[in-house]
Structures are given as C-alpha cells and as structure tokens.
Amino acid sequence: MSAWIEIGKIEDIPLRGARVLKTGNGDIAVFRSVDNRIFALQDQCPHRGGPLSQGLVHDWRVTCPLHGFVIELASGAAVEPDEGCAERYQVRIKGGVISLFLEAGLEKKARREKVTA
C-alpha cells in the first residue's frame, strides 16, 4: 500500500543542500533550494549512478559530482545536451514537516529512517 511518510523538517536540510532517506529500494535524495522548495529524487544520476545528494544544488537543479550532468529537481530530467532521468518522488509540506509519497514496500523501512547527512 502506498503512503505519505513524514521524513523530517525543512530545517533538517541545508539551503542548497540535500539529505538522504534510505529505503528498501535504494536511497532517495531530498533537496532544498535557496527559495525553500523541497524536491526528492532517486539518489542516482542517470548517467553513471553518481550520488546526486552529494552534488551542487543551484536554482532548481543539481549537478552530479561525478561527471557534471545537470538534473532538473522538479522533474528528474537531465538538462540538454545530457540525457536520462532520475526517478522523482512526490513531496508535501505541512507545518514545516516534509512527507514523501512512497510506494508499497518502500514506506516500511523509510518509517524507521529519517533524512540523514
């Protein structure tokens, strides 16, 4: 069963930074833009699997630390001329608390984990 899972507060994520949520199906990178928007993507660059959570966040994009691929945070799509897409997760914020919409199986482990550095 899919569910909204609370993962932490906006303040848990630094401006222009990311934190990682461990799930049963891989890590999810949760990003915070300079204007306090929150985005969540699979923590794996579509190019060669680099950890997007360790990339440089700028505007509503992240640059992969391995090979410089630029990924749109809102969609997960690579910016041209790069190609590919990182899976995107739905985000909701209520009272400063971040929740992600996770598919069945992912939410069980995520309930025990919080976003980490």
Peptide bond into 14 cis (omega under 30): no
Q: Which residue has the tokens 């309930």?
A: 111
pLDDT for 112 beyond 80: no
Backbone angles phi, psi at 101, to 5 degrees: -90, 115
Q: What is the pLDDT of residues 18-59, one digit of tens each?
A: 999 998 879 999 999 999 999 999 999 988 878 999 999 998
Question: Is beta strand 61-63 parallel, antiparallel or unpaired with respect to 70-72?
Answer: antiparallel
pTM, full prediction: 0.86
Say which amino acid occupies 82: D
For residues 7 and 112, give the distance between their C-alpha atoms in angstroms, rounded to a whole number.
9
- 65 within 8 A of 58, measured Cβ to Cβ: no
DSSP secondary structure letter of residue 42: E
Provide the CATH number for the domain formed by 3-112 in this structure.
2.102.10.10
Cα dihedral sign, 50-105-40-70? positive
